[in-house]
Amino acid sequence: MPREKKSVEEGLKNKGFKLKEGDHHRFIYYTIDGNKKSSVITKTSHTPKMKEIPDNLISQMAKQCKLSKSDFLNLVDCPLSREKYEAILKADGELN
């Protein structure tokens, strides 16, 4: 199910991802404690006419964020808290 690009980007920012501009909009996760940069990175396109992120790209973003697709959608739609997301990353060995 496609999602509005702006909504996904805002959801990522609200959950601890910081935007870094480059060839794409790169979103890097920073930890709650100490605000440390992690290796978890996802990106969206600069293309202005791309208003929605298609389902296949949502799946790729989920994988980049180390989540299932349904958990990723819960992350950006808000039911999955930043604390719970970070706990998932720690449990999977993605964060120290």
Task: Please give the average per-residue pLDDT across 22-42, as a whole number.
Answer: 90
pLDDT of residue 34: 80
**The pLDDT of residue 48 is above 80:** no
Domain segments of the chain as ranges = 3-91
Under the banding of pLDDT at 50, 70 and 90, the label for residue 47 is: confident
Under CATH, which architecture does the 3-91 domain have?
Answer: 2-Layer Sandwich (3.30)
The predicted structure's pLDDT at residue 50: 78
Q: Rounded CA gap, 45 and 38, in Å?
A: 21
Average pLDDT estimate for 3-19: 94
How many C-beta neighbours within 10 Å does residue 3 have? 20
Residue 53 or residue 22, greater confidence: 53
> Is residue 62's pLDDT more than 80?
yes
Q: Using CA atoms, how far apart are residues 64 and 43, in angstroms rounded to an integer?
A: 9
Q: Provide mean pLDDT across the span 20-36.
A: 88
| pTM metric for this prediction | 0.90
